[in-house]
Amino acid sequence: MRAKVGLLTDVLQQALAALRDNRLRTVLSILGIAVGIAAVMAVGSVAKGGHYLIFSELETFGLKSVWVYKNDEEKDPRRAVRKGTGIDNDDYFAVLSGCCPAVVRVTPLVYGMEFANSGRLVVRSGNRYSNGRIEGVGADFTYINNDSLTKGRAFRAEDESRRRRVAIIGTRVQEDLFGLHQNSIGKEIRIGSEPYTVIGLLTPKSRDFLASIGSSGGQDANNRVLIPYSTYQQILGKKEIFVLQAEAVSLQSADAAAQQIKALLERRHRGQYSYKSETMAKYIGTAGNILKAVTLIGIIAASVSLLVGGLGIMNIMSTSVLERTREIGLRKALGARKNDILMQFLLEATLISSLGGSLGLILGAVTGHTLAWATGFPLSPSWGTVLVALAVSIGVGMLSGYYPAHRAAQLKPVEALRYE
């Protein structure tokens, strides 16, 4: 055992001495590997940050949300699309009764009051106005939609049953009507000519990135006024529901929940309407696939740098074999085995790639933290990325150095000693 350790120590010392003798070529090879590893880590960091950014905004819609609404696209030109929303309160109560095993909660969505009977309805408080979107929702809406309250309370069942004039407002509406730092709980606002008491203030939500790519639904999540759906229906004079938003048991059962609700509605309305559905699971899957594709392309592009670094190591090791041919011949003449020569040159290549990989890890980490500081996104690489990058750098060194090392090991002592 001691003999093997001593041999390995000798080979390592010889490898280090050989690298010191060719400092410039060694440094350039190390830099080639370092740039490649740093590029791979940077891509991994950006991918992680993009995943966090997109999924944190998708989460603001409720990850297990399911939306079901009437299909207004009639394929048969001989049939006119039936008027109405195709969903009413009885349908809502039927879903609540437990007809759909994959559904945990459900809430009605009622909107369109901006142009009700008496013209455009505005939200105001005294002489201050807001263009907040008015939505009629059920008591479970905040749970399903992943909304939380900074102040106040959510709707209760009695708010629905008694058609109370109460409202929950977003921070933008709060700023428009009362000022951002004022307490609006218990204060009165008017929607049209009707007074409503503010009972809750929604926690701000960010959908800036989704809005920038046109995927936020065209709505500012902080510019909303929520009122009980039954109160909204009373103003409209109808018992129609525009959309049923449900929470599925799990992300995987979202499609099943949508199908169960659609089947119930079609049975209840005897096929007079057809229905469409959307799930967050679909958007999450799409976003995940896009991120994977972009990350893969980025890693492939960054890997080109690693390939160049590997070719650099192969070049420097091939040159080193040529320059040290007489040394190899002398060592073999004195009893060195093929494996000893192979190990020495492989160790030199591995040292170069390991040093380059370590430097690349440092550069990648600094790049990630710099980008995180500049953008405010969490762009630090994961430990998995770090370990993979280091393993790849060592693997590149060994693979790149194997051919020159094998060639050196195969040299015949007599021919090597004659080499000029």
Closest CA to 317 of 415, 410, 400: 400
| pLDDT of amino acid 142 | 92
Name the residue with tokens 């074999």. 321
User: Helices 383-410 and 338-375, interaxial angle, to 10°?
Assistant: 150
pLDDT winner (highest mean) among 42-46, 175-179, 302-306: 175-179
Structure tokens at 244: 């049923």
Least confident among 243-252, 264-273, 357-366:
357-366
Q: Determine the Cα angle at 239 with ends 140 and 146, to 5°.
A: 20
Six token digits for residue 282: 């679909």
| CA dihedral angle for residue 250, residue 67, residue 61, residue 57, rounded to 10 degrees | 90
Q: What is the pLDDT of residue 68?
A: 94
Most confident of the ranges 11-15, 230-234, 270-274: 230-234
pLDDT over 50 (residue 115): no
Residue 299's alpha-carbon distances to 161, 259, 363, in angstroms, are: 57, 39, 16
Q: How far apart are CA 107 and CA 138, in angstroms?
A: 5
What pLDDT is stored for residue 15 in this prediction?
64
For the ranges 141-155, 277-291, 310-324, 335-349, the one whose mean pLDDT is highest = 141-155
pTM for this prediction: 0.70
- pLDDT score of 109 more than 90: yes
pLDDT band at 242 (very low <50, low <70, confident <90, very high): very high
Report which residue type is found at 99: C
Residue 81 pLDDT level (bands cut at 50, 70, 90)? low
For 297, residues 6+ apart whose C-beta sits below 8 A from its C-beta are none
pLDDT at 24 (0 to 100):
77
389 versus 125: the higher-pLDDT residue is: 125
The reported pLDDT for the residue numbered 126 is 87
Top-confidence residue, 215 or 325: 325
Highest mean pLDDT among 278-287, 373-382, 392-401: 278-287
Rounded distance, CA 273 to CA 85, Å? 9
pLDDT of residue 117: 42
Which whole number is the average pLDDT over 373-385?
69
CA 314 to chain centroid, in Å, comes to: 38
Distance CA(113)–CA(133), nearest Å, equals 9
Instruction: Record the tokens describing residue 117, joined without a space.
Output: 């009977």
pLDDT at 119: 42
Mean pLDDT across the chain: 80
Around Cβ 346, how many Cβ atoms within 10 Å? 23
Q: Are 38 and 365 in contact (CB under 8 A)?
A: no
